[in-house]
Amino acid sequence: MRRIVFIQLLFLAAATSLAGQTASKKAPAPAAAAQTPANLAQLMRGILYPASNVIFAAQSTDPAEVKPAGNPSTATDPLMSTYGGWQAVENAALALVESANLLTLPGRKCANGVDAPLRSPDWAKFVQGLRDAGMKTYKAAQAKNQDNIVDAAETMTEACASCHDKWREKPNLADRCK
Ligand code: HEC
């Protein structure tokens, strides 16, 4: 059994180097167009929500005091992971800054099927607010300054809420994003 795996690996190595050779002779591939398989709610739940929780947690818990998980490499809480403590707060802040770019990609739908309101000038303003709040949080995390994190978390809360007030907080889901 071991032997089979070994042979397969050898074969794979040969195939990859061959592929490498053919690829190097061709012109560089054009950059793949961005795609948006997640609706806006899924993007929020998958990236913005978990990242912002790391920042909100750092208001009351000093990240430097968080003990690593039993097995940090499989930890589901970034603060207790291999990249834990203040580094987790830095990374969460940067994830939010980068998520602002995802919020500007064309083609994004809201969960109710309505186009995300990308063309509204307010959308651009709120996305920039998220970016700025993320950078403020990143600087606070780099400085390992919990007072500044409390301040930055407040700015972040406002950045999330200003967009939600306009497009999310509706009695009927069908009216979101309109
Ligand atoms: C530029 C606008 C905008 C910003 C900024 C924004 N959101 Fe959202 N968010 C929305 C909209 C619109 C929805 C509703 C999406 C839908 O129904 O498809 C939403 C939905 C959500 C949801 C899902 C709610 C549900 O019904 O399940 C969560 C969670 C969320 N946002 C968290 C956040 C957090 C945390 C932040 C800040 C770090 C944030 N959002 C910043 C526009 C924004």
The pLDDT value given to residue 30 = 73
The pLDDT value given to residue 31 = 78
The pLDDT value given to residue 1 = 42
Residue 109: φ, ψ to 5°: -105, 155
Which of the four CATH numbers 1.10.3470, 1.20.120, 3.40.50, 1.20.1250 does domain 31-175 have?
A: 1.20.120
List the alpha helices (DSSP H) in the chain: 2-25, 40-43, 49-60, 86-102, 121-142, 146-167
pLDDT mean across residues, the chain:
89
Hey, where are the domains in the chain? Answer: 31-175
pTM of the model: 0.86
Ligand 1 atom 41: residue of nearest CA: 160
Say whether pLDDT at 8 is over 70.
no
Helices 86-102 and 146-167, packing angle to 10 deg: 30
**Ligand 1: residues within 6 Å at CB?**
39-41, 44-45, 48-49, 52, 96, 103, 110-111, 123, 126-127, 130, 156, 159-160, 163-164, 167-168, 176-177
Q: What percent of the chain has pLDDT over 90?
A: 81
Say whether pLDDT at 145 is over 70.
yes
Alpha carbon distance 39, 42 (integer Å): 5
